[in-house]
Amino acid sequence: MAFSLPADSNWHRAFFPLSAANFTAVGSPSTTFDNLFVTGSSGGGVLSSWTVGKTHRFKAAVVQRPVINWTSWLLTTDMGAFGARYWFKQLPWDDQETYWKHSPLALVGNVTTPTMVLVGLSDLRTTVGEAEQYYQALQLRHIPTELYEIPGAAHVLIRPSQLAAQSTAIVEWFDRYRSAVGH
């Protein structure tokens, strides 16, 4: 299956091809349907948050470094001018409907999946505020959630200790919701 991520704000368009790949994998004899998890970082964080707003298929999710609200992202990111020029046709105050329609926060009312939100505290690309919005929205909905903040981490983790801590946190979160094998 050929697939590429959209090069604009329409990340949600990737949901359907990824879902098709997921359905194919679920049909495999080596896949346990009761233990499906979803995670992604940056654009993958957008897709992960979009996915749990569209389906209840996954046991748990880890949304890493996401854009949750395209308006707040555009106004706080280190690449706001780029995003405004290449990803949107208008600025948020001229077309708030489009920004909201593409924001995973618009789908938070559908989320039932336990979701960890992960962010680097020095991330200027997808800022802490994006993660905090999603975490708070999940809390208000009483969805099991955890905010995992990595001190000193930018958008791309550089230090091995940060990568190890992140990987451990993700595995522990998924293990918390993993079904026993054979049940």
Catalytic site residues?
42, 155
Tokens 């495999």 sit on residue: 28
20, 1 contact by CB (below 8 A): yes
Tokens 């329409």 sit on residue: 10
- Calculate the alpha carbon distances from 114 to 3, 18, 62, 149 in Å: 28, 20, 9, 17
Tokens 């697939």 sit on residue: 3
Angle CA(130)–CA(43)–CA(4) in degrees, nearest 5? 160
178, 36 contact by CB (below 8 A): no
